[in-house]
Amino acid sequence: MDIIFHHPTFNSQQWIEGLHQKLPEATVRQWLPGDNQPADYALVWHPPVEMLSGRSTLKGVFALGAGVDSILSQLQKHPEMLPKGVPLFRLEDTGMALQMQEYAVSQVLHWFRRFDDYQALKQQAKWEPLEDYRREDFTIGVLGAGVLGGKVAESLAAWGFPVRCWSRSKKDYLGITSYAGAEQLGQFLSGTRVLINLLPNTPQTVGIINSELLNKLADNSYVMNLARGVHLVEDDLLAALDSGKVKGAMLDVFAKEPLPQNSLLWKHPRIAITPHLAAVTRPEEAMTYIAKTIRQIENKESPSGQVSLDNGY
C-alpha cells in the first residue's frame, strides 16, 4: 500500500512516521513535483493539480481539514485533477468538534455575562453593575448543522440556552429546534440573538451573511463566524454594527487571510478577531482517523466522511 502526502505547512516527516506506525504495511512518502509513481491513497491540503491528475487507481483522497472547498474550487478550474470515481474524504471530527465547542461556549458566555460591556466601561473607568441577560431571551442559532455544527449546538444547549439550527435538511438533535431549506431560513433567524456560522463553503452559501440576513436577527444580536470568510459580507456587518442592529461580532475567518492591516475590521471596537484557529487539525487524532478509514476501505467497508462532490460537503 502506497500513500503520498502533501501539505504546504505541516511537518511532513512527523506525518510520514506517524502514519507508518499506524499503518505499518504502508509505504508513506512526501509527494514532490515529478513524482508519478503509483499511489493508493493521497493525503492533501491545497494539492497541486499534477499531484492527483491521472491517478485513476487511487482508492481515496483525504483532505487534511474539516473543509474541502480548496479542493472543490480547484476541481471547478481543473476537473481532471480528481479522476472520476475516486472518493474524497474530509476529517469528520478528529478533535475539531471539542475545539469548536470550547471556542463557541466561551464566547457566548462572554456575551451573555456582558463582559464585553464591562470591558467598555472599564475603558471609561466606570464602576456600573449592569442588568443580567436572561437565558430565555438569548436564543442561539447555529447556521450549518453537520458534525461540527451539531456538536456546538449540543454543547450550548447543555448550558440551558434555547438553541436552534438551520441546514439543508432537518436534523434530530436532542433539545434543539431544527429548521431546513430556504423556506425556513426566515423562521430560524427571527428571534435569534446569537448567530454562529458553521456552514460548508458552497456556491449557495457564499455571501449568505449579508444585510438582508442580519436585519432578520433579534435587535442587539451577536455574530460569530467560524466557517469561512466568504460567507460574510464584511461591509454589511460593519453597517449593522454601526446602526446598532448587531451589538458585537467574533470573527475567526476572513475573505482574505491573513487579514490585511488596512481592514476596517481591525479597528472596530465591537469586533473581536482570532487568526483562523477555532479548530485546527491535530496530527495524532487525524492520523488515527485516516488509518481507520483506510482499513475500512481495504476491508470493502463503507466508511463515513466521504464528500458528495455535488453537495460540496
Catalytic residues: 228, 276
96-112 and 115-123 helices, crossing angle to 10°: 60
The 10 Å Cβ neighbour count of residue 136 is: 9
Cβ atoms of 233 and 211 within 8 Å: the answer is yes
CA-based nearest residue to 166, from 190, 142, 194: 142
User: Which are the contacts of 78, defined by CB distance < 8 A and separation ≥ 6?
Assistant: 49, 53
Residues counted in the chain: 313
Q: Supply φ then ψ for residue 166, to 5 degrees.
A: -135, 135
Name the CA radius of gyration of the chain, rounded. Answer: 21
What is the greatest pairwise CA distance in the chain?
69
Strand-pair partners of 91: none
- Nearest 10 degrees: CA dihedral of 294, 298, 303, 306? 70
Burial class (CB in 10 A: 0-12, 13-18, 19+), 229: middle
**What are the start-end ranges of the H helices in the chain?**
12-22, 49-52, 69-77, 96-112, 115-123, 147-157, 185-189, 211-214, 234-243, 264-267, 283-298
Tracing cell 469561512 back to the chain, one arrives at 228
User: Which are the contacts of 31, defined by CB distance < 8 A and separation ≥ 6?
Assistant: 4, 5, 6, 42, 47, 51
